[in-house]
Structure 1
Amino acid sequence: MSNVLVNLNPSSVFEYFEEMSNIPRGSGNEKAISDYLVAIAKKHNLEVVQDDVLNVIIKKPATAGYENAPTVIIQGHMDMVCEKNKGTVHDFKKDPLKLRIIDDMIYATDTTLGADDGIAVAYALALLTSDDIPHPPLEVLVTVEEETGMDGAVGLDPKHLDGKFLINIDSEEEGQLLVSCAGGITTRQILPVSWEDVNKNDISYTINISGLSSGHSGSDIDKGRGNSNKLMGRILNDLSSDFDYSIKSIDGGSKHNVIPRETTTVICINPNDSIKLTEKINKWDTILKNELRASDKGVAVKLEKCEDNTSKVFSKETMKKAIASLVLIPHGVQSMNMEMKNLVESSMNLAIITTTDTKVIFESSIRSSVQSLKYNILNQAKMIADLLGCELIESADYPEWAYDPDSKLRQLFEKVYQQKYGKSPEVSAIHAGLECGLFKEKNKDLDMVSFGPDMFDVHTANEHLSISSTQRTWEYLLDVLKEMR
C-alpha cells in the first residue's frame, strides 16, 4: 500500500482516501468497497446495514451533550467514473490508483482520481471512527452506482434512515452551498442497420477526432467544449457533398454523463478520391482548431489508411440516417434559468455512439431543473427518432431537487460560514443530477444541503483535488455539526 498522502492533514481523512484508492470501485464494481465500509463499521462496533444493492448505512450515537440533537445523515457515493488517457495501461477492475501530489493538488496518474466522490466517504469514515469530535446522532449513507444512473439511491429503502437533515458531500466548489439540482433522463436512439457489400476496389480509412477537453455533461455543458460525436456529424455530412463514400462503423464516447472527447469512423472510398479526402480532413482539422481554440486547444482530426477486412458497409439509407442523427440530435444548453444568474436550466448531451452488427446506438443524457422542460426535450428526441425510423428507449429518469426557501439546514450552514469567514457562502443550484432529488422523492420531510471541497476536471484523467480546500471544508463540516447541539 502506498503512503503518498501520509503527511497531509486532516490525517484521518487522507488516510481513508488513500486506502480507498487501492480498492477498485468503478460503477457496477462496488462489492469490494462496500465490504470495506462494512468491515470498518464492525471494527468500531457501529450499527451497519448493507442492503440488497450494496448501499451501506452506518449509524453512530451522539457524543456527550448531543443526545437530544436531531439525527444528521452524512451522504456520498462510493463509485467513481473510470476514465484514463489514451495509451495508459490501467485495469480499473483490479489496479489501484497511482496517487501523486503536485503543489496543493492530489492527482492520480493518467486516470480519474475518484475524489468524486471518495472524499465524501473519507470524511464520513473519519467522523465515524473519531473519538474526539462532538456531533449529533449520525447516519452515514454511502450509495452505489451514482455515476451511471443513481441506482443506489433508486434502490434505497428509506426505512433504514431516521434523520430529517441530510448533508450531501458531492459538490466540487468550496464556499458554495448547493440547494437545488437538475433532474434527468437517458435516451438511446436505435437505428437499425441494413448492410451492403463493400465495393471490391474501395480502400478503408479511419477518421478520428481526439484531443478535446471533455468534462461533466452537466456542470461543464456551458463551457463551449467540443463534442466529438457532433463534430463527426458535421465532417461526415460535409464529405457527402464532394464525393461518394461508405461507412463501416461510427463509435464515440464512453460514458453517458461525459462530453465525448474522441470519435472514430471507418469509411470506404474509391482510391481516386484519396487526395480529396485528405484535403477535406486537413481542412476540418484547421476549422476545428480555430473554432475551439479557447476551449479545446488540443483538438485534432486525423486520417489514416487502415486494413479493415469487414466486407459490409452501411446501406445508403442507413448512412443517410446515421449522419442525420449525428447532426439533428440536440447537444448543449437548451435553456438558461432566469432567476439564478449563469445557471443552465436545461441541456442535452449526445454522449455515446456504438455500432453493432444490427444497429447504431446514439445515447444521450437530458437534464433540466424544470420537469416540464425535461419532458419537452424528450419529446423532441422522440420526434427526431420517429422521423428517422428509429426506436427511442428511455431509462434512468430521476427527479429534480427543488429549492426550499425555508431550509433550516441551509440557514445553519450560512450562519457558520459567516462566523468562520466573515462573509456569506454562495447559495446556488447545479445543472447536474444529485441523489438529493431521489432522497427527497422518498422522504418529503428531508432538509438538505450539498457542499464539498474544490475539485477540478472531474470525470477526466486530469481530475485533481485541493489539499488545503479539503482541510478547510472538513473544519467547516465539524463546526456545523458542533452547532447542532
Structure 2
Amino acid sequence: EQRSAPAQLALLASDNIAHGKIEALFTVDEETGLTGAFNLEKDFLTGNILINLDSEEEGLIYIGCAGGKNTRGYFKYKEKESPKKYFWFNLHVKGLRGGHSGSDIDKNFGNANKILARFLFSLMRKKYGMVLSEIKGGNLSNALPREAYAIVGVKEKYKEDIRVKLNTFLASVQNEYKHTETSLDIQLESAQIPSKVLNKGTTERLILALNACPHGVIGMSLDIPGLVETSNNMASVKMIDGQQIEVITSQRSSVESQREYVINMVTSVFDLAGAKVTYNEGYPGWQPNTESQILRLAEKVYKDLYNKDAEVKAIHAGLECGLFLEKYPHLDMISIGPDMTDVHSPKEKLNIPSVEKWWNFLVKILENVSPETAEKR
C-alpha cells in the first residue's frame, strides 16, 4: 500500500505528533480478496473511532460505500479437430483505459470483453462457419477489462469479408466511445492453424451469455445525487484447466436487495446458457451516518486548515469499512486519502502535493480527538 501503511508507520515512529491512544491496523489482500478484513477478530480492536486511509481523493471525506459480491459462470467445453480450408486470425481488442470497476463504472469507459463478444456474435450465426480456439479478456474482478483477444476461424472464402466487417464494426465502436476511449483499437492478424477448436454448442452458449450479461450502471441512488447505487462489471473471461471457460462478474450496490437482484440477473444469464454458477463470500456495504462525531470533527478541522469545506460523499466501491462495521457495530468511521488517478490500471498515479495536505489533515484530526471519545466502547 503506497499511502496508508507509510502514514501509519510515520505516526507510530513520530514522537512530536500530539494524539491520544491509537491502534494501527494493517490488513492483507485488500485489493483482491479482503482476506485481512474478513479474518479480523471481533475483540482485536479497542477504540471507538476508525479513520480509514484508503480513499483516493484529497478534500473528500467518505462516509459510506457499496457492498459487493462476485458471480462466476463456468462453461464446460469439448475440443474437436480444426476444420480444413479455414482462415485463422487473432482478434485483439486493446487500448482501453481500464480503471476501477466501482468508482469508474459511470464514466462510460469501454469493456474489452463486451466489445469482443459483440463482434464474435456478429460472426456466429452468419454464413462464415465461425469457430473459436481461444478466448481471454480482463484480469481482476475489481478492474474494468482493458484488453481481450480470441483466436478465431472462418471459411477461407470469407477472409476479406471479415476484414471489411471488422473495419466497419471498429468505426462504429470508436464513434460510440469517441469521448472516453480515444486509443480504442481492434487488431486482426493472421494466426497459425490451431490443433483444436471448441465445440459449436459451447461456443454459441458462451458468446450469447457474454452478450446478454449486463455491464455498467444498473441504477443511481435516489438518496445521494450523483452516486451510483447498483452496477455490474463483466470482469474477466479465461480458459482454465483445459476443460472449461470461467467468466467472472462483480456486483456492487449500497442497497443489499438491489445487489441480490443483479446477482440473480447474472445467474439467470449463466443458467440459461448452461453454465455452472458459483459465488464468493461477498462483503457488506457501509451505510452513511450523517450524525457521525468524527465526521463533524473532520469537517471542522479541514475548514480550519484550508479555509474551505471538505466534500462529504459515499463511494460506489468496496472499502474494508463495511466489514469493520459488521464486526464492530459501535465504530464511528470516516475514510480519507490523497489524490490518485487511473487506479487499477498501468497508468495509476499518486499526486505527491496532495499527500502533504492529506497528512496534515490526518495529524490535525488526531490532535483534536478527545481521549474519552476515542476509547469509549
> Structure 2 length normalisation: TM-score?
0.95
In the alignment, the residues of structure 2 paired with residue 384 and residue 347 of structure 1 have an alpha-carbon distance, to the nearest angstrom, of: 16
SS at match of 1:419: helix
Deviations 1:322-378 (A, max 9, x none): 111110111000000012111000000000000232111110110000000010111
Unpaired runs of 5+ in structure 2? 371-377
Q: Which residue of 70, 85, 89 corresponds with 1:186?
A: 70
Determine if contact 2:128/2:155 at 8 Å carries over to the other structure: no
Native 8 Å contact 1:412 1:480 kept in 2? yes
Q: Shift of residue 308 of structure 1? A: 4.0
Show the 5 A alignment for 1:252-401: 252-310=137-195, 312-356=196-240, 357-401=242-286
The Cα of 1:242 is off from its aligned counterpart by 5.0
The residue that corresponds to 1:34 in the other structure is none
Whether 2:341 is the aligned partner of 1:461: answer no
Residues 295-327 of structure 1 deviation map (CA, whole Å, 9 limit, x = unaligned): 1100001101111432x2122211110111110
Question: Residue in 2 aligned with 1:128?
Answer: 12
Could you tell me which residue of structure 2 aligns to residue 440 of structure 1?
A: 325
Aligned to 2:117: 233
Correspondent of 1:177 among 55, 58, 61: 61
Post-superposition Cα deviations, 1:263-310, rounded to whole Å, max 9, x if no partner, equal 001111222111011111122221222111111100001101111432
* Residue matched to 1:481: 366
TM-score, normalised relative to structure 1 = 0.74
Aligned equivalent of 1:412, options 269, 279, 297: 297
Q: Deviations over 1:211-235 (max 9, x none)?
A: 0011000000000000000111110
Secondary structure in 2 matching 1:140:
coil
What SS does structure 1 have at the residue aligned with 2:280?
strand
**SS of equivalent residue, structure 2 residue 2:** helix
Q: Verify the 8 A CA contact 1:149 1:396 in the aligned structure 2.
A: no
Select which of 142, 167, 170 maps to 2:26.
142
The CA RMSD measured in Å over matched residues stands at: 1.1
Distance 1:274 1:396 in 2: 46
Contact 1:232 1:326 in 2 (8 A): no
CA distance in 2 between counterparts of 1:308 and 1:469 reads 53
Residue 373 of structure 2 corresponds to none
Residue aligning to 1:6: none
2:66·2:254 contact (CA, 8 Å) conserved in 1? yes
Do 1:191 and 1:361's aligned partners in 2 also have CA atoms closer than 8 Å? Answer: yes
Higher relative contact order (Cα pairs below 8 Å, separated by 6+ residues): 2
Residue 131 of structure 2 contacts residue 197 of structure 2 at CA under 8 Å; is this kept in 1? yes
Task: Give yes or no for contact 1:284–1:301 (8 Å, CA) kept in 2.
Answer: no
Which amino acid is 1:153 matched to? Answer: A
- Equivalences, count: 368
What per-residue deviation string (whole Å, max 9, x for no partner) do you get for residues 238-257 of structure 1? 12335221011210001111
* Identity percentage of aligned residues: 38
Matches within 5 A, 1:215-234: 215-234=99-118
2:71–2:267 CA contact under 8 A, matched in 1: no
8 Å CA contact retained: 1:181, 1:401: yes
Task: Verify: 1:159 aligned to 2:32, yes or no.
Answer: no
8 Å CA contact 1:214, 1:258 repeated in 2:
yes
Equivalents in 2 of 1:468, 1:206: separation in Å? 44
- The one-letter code of the counterpart of 2:304 is Q
